Amino acid sequence: MKNCPRINIAVGDSSHTIATSLNATTTQSRTLQQHIQNKKQLFKRHDNVISNIIINATNGLTKDLLEKLKNAQIEKENARKAIESLEVALHIIEPKSINIGTLNGVSNEKGTLSNLSNENGPLVNNTSVANKIIRRTCNSSRTCNNPYPVSYLFKNNQKRYIVKQTIVKPNQPKTENMQFIFTNLKSKFVAPRLYKNESEHAVSIIKYSNEAVVLLFWDGKNAWVSTPFKTQKDFRLALTSAAKTLKINKKNKTNGANVAQEKVVLLNNEHGVEKITKTTVYKLCDMIQLIDCINKRFKKCNEDEVRNAITAYKANKKSAKLESALVDVLTRYDGDIKSPTLWGGYAITKITKQVNRKANPVPTNMLRYLKDAQLHYKPAIANRSYFFLYE
């Protein structure tokens, strides 16, 4: 985002002009805030519609439901874009710098200008500051005052990538920075602010958490996803299996994944807490397919299936096949697997240990996060493939 714009009122302007300008800005600000609230309510309403359709579609999505789902998603995205535009407009119209002549006696409906205050404190704290410039800056917590740290990716003489923190900026037109995101998936994906730099090697480092679960790297053309950390070992094993099924590894040999992997390792080790020596990265769209493949292997089952599996196991507790089938069913059951109504006091410690080891390893909220990210980075693919639909 560009630097906050300034609104200047020249020294010598009348008190009426100053007061009118401030009042007009306040009115516009209130109107925009009301529009933003309306759009947020609209966004939430369409989000609820999408969730209800998915939850209630127990027999699959019919053609009519798919059409309703698509329309709701389009309306939701339109509302999101409208909110972003309105928030930008709200930020622009707020007065940031005022050159004031004689301030004594200048007033509006809130009292004298010297008593006016906002989120940053009084506009003027001295009634005898005639012919001085009073600067009102943005609140330090606002995003426009907190640009992301920037690193630069270069090739050295051995044609290996290295990371630099400072460079001599070339004299050329600015281009949008690449983006490297650390996230723990505990919140929804939020589209990062775009910054431009004279160097095409600039990378914005966006660190949402020091306890990252996922690394997301946007190189200007493609978005790459990696889960290289120790806590995701089981998930990586499931990814490897799913990649073999979908033949993603073959695609990775020719789609530039090897270069992206090198960059991800360097940027993580430069800015991350947990250091890594290697990692496997997948394109954002491929990762969504891989997670979908893993989730299908853990297709949900109902209580009747659980009861049948328990009954069969109790009838022949020495059968390894029946025990394996029971563990598989319990792994896919959303309810309380330790419920007394299912077991009737039967000892289940051995079974629950196996279930915990075999649980779905996909990190919580990861699929939704990646679908939102794809809608931001690759909207054409997201809309065409229906990958934007939430699980």
Q: Does residue 167 surpass a pLDDT of 80?
A: yes
Rounded CA-CA distance 353/72 in Å is: 42
- Confirm whether 332 is domain-assigned: yes
Whether residues 290 and 333 fall in one domain: no
Q: Does residue 303 surpass a pLDDT of 70?
A: yes
The pLDDT assigned to 344 comes to 75
- Confirm whether 121 is domain-assigned: yes
- Confirm whether 382 is domain-assigned: no
Whether residues 320 and 238 fall in one domain: no
* List of residues 6+ apart from 259 with CB closer than 8 A: none
The pLDDT assigned to 123 comes to 41
The pLDDT assigned to 373 comes to 92
198 or 51, which is more confident: 198
**pLDDT tens per residue across span 89-142:** 777 665 443 333 333 343 343 343 333 344 344 443 443 333 333 344 445 455
The pLDDT assigned to 23 comes to 60
Whether residues 343 and 281 fall in one domain: no
The pLDDT assigned to 116 comes to 39
The pLDDT assigned to 206 comes to 94
- Confirm whether 104 is domain-assigned: yes
Whether residues 57 and 109 fall in one domain: yes
Which one of 115, 143, 171 terminates a domain? Answer: 143
**pLDDT tens per residue across span 212-251:** 999 999 999 999 999 999 888 889 988 998 999 999 988 8
Whether residues 112 and 199 fall in one domain: no
- Confirm whether 26 is domain-assigned: yes
Confidence band, pLDDT 50/70/90 cuts, at residue 370: very high
Q: Is 175 exposed, middle or buried (0-12, 13-18, 19+ CB in 10 A)?
A: middle
- Confirm whether 29 is domain-assigned: yes
Q: Does residue 351 surpass a pLDDT of 50?
A: yes
Whether residues 201 and 264 fall in one domain: yes
Q: Does residue 260 surpass a pLDDT of 90?
A: yes
Which one of 143, 162, 197 terminates a domain? Answer: 143
* Average pLDDT over all residues of the chain: 77
Rounded CA-CA distance 242/351 in Å is: 26
326 or 282, which is more confident: 282
Whether residues 86 and 172 fall in one domain: no
Whether residues 187 and 326 fall in one domain: no
Whether residues 161 and 247 fall in one domain: yes
Whether residues 47 and 106 fall in one domain: yes
Q: How many domains does the chain have?
A: 3
Whether residues 284 and 328 fall in one domain: no
Whether residues 201 and 124 fall in one domain: no
- Confirm whether 387 is domain-assigned: no
- Confirm whether 5 is domain-assigned: no
Pick from 76, 98, 201: nearest CA to 150: 201
Which one of 295, 329, 345 terminates a domain? Answer: 295
**pLDDT tens per residue across span 139-156:** 545 555 578 999 999 888
pTM of the model: 0.57
125 or 381, which is more confident: 381
Range of the domain at 70: 15-143
Confidence band, pLDDT 50/70/90 cuts, at residue 300: confident
